[in-house]
Structure 1
């Protein structure tokens, strides 16, 4: 197995949508695991204004080659016009854990 065959995607969302999005991604086998980090304060520029929002952060563990299907599902489920969907390929990790990620999404 190639260690780079897994990725972690970061998605911020309103707290009320965090668990439903996470559960849907796991149920659809697009993610092996989604960790929900609550109470994140985001400050950002949107349409020329500085905005602030309380959000949750989803850490989505998934096969790297499944990113585009994962992205499409997040776009379908997410309430934001422009959601954050950022993937980082895993360079090194515990091999049995990586095997579990891939097996969970088959």
Structure 2
């Protein structure tokens, strides 16, 4: 499997489909992500001492390690949650063609 040590997935969630779409579009338009997948999910979590359950949308941005900081900053600026989930997960591998496409579509912050 081809190495993908420069490719990451930046993940957040929101309970609002329109916001998920807005985050996805902003990241792709700014060339911070090559693709953003939006997936309906159910979440169970503890918040302020209470166990909560919510229907949410997982927003998964496929990007490069170099652009991950700018992706995180964009999500934080667009997200209304007090504490939005923002996780950066490494890609462990993938097809050369797909990894190359991600690299070609993302322009790291400062290189524009």
Give your verdict on TM over 0.5: yes
Larger displacement relative to structure 2 (94-103 or 7-16): 7-16
- The alpha carbon displacement at 1:5 in A equals 0.8
Unmatched runs of 5 consecutive residues or more in structure 2: 108-112
Which structure's residues are more often helix, by fraction? 1
What is the CA deviation profile of residues 59-104 of structure 1, one whole-angstrom value per residue up to 9, with x for unaligned ones? 1100012111110000000111111111111121101111111110
- Deviating beyond 6 angstroms after TM superposition, the runs of 4 or more aligned structure 1 residues are none
Aligned length: 105
Q: Structure 2: how far apart are the matches of 1:101 and 1:82?
A: 28
Q: Structure 2: how far apart are the matches of 1:16 and 1:42?
A: 18
Unmatched runs of 5 consecutive residues or more in structure 1: none
Q: Any conservation in 1 of the 2:10–2:72 contact (CA below 8 Å)? A: no
Q: TM-score, normalised by structure 2?
A: 0.87
- Map of 1:71 onto structure 2: 72
What is the CA deviation profile of residues 11-70 of structure 1, one whole-angstrom value per residue up to 9, with x for unaligned ones? 1112231111100110111100001102x1111111111112211011110001211111
- Map of 2:110 onto structure 1: none
- Map of 1:32 onto structure 2: 34
Q: Structure 1: how far apart are the matches of 2:73 and 2:104?
A: 21
- Map of 2:24 onto structure 1: 22
3-state SS of 2:5 partner: helix
Q: TM-score, normalised by structure 1?
A: 0.91
CA RMSD in angstroms, aligned pairs only: 1.5
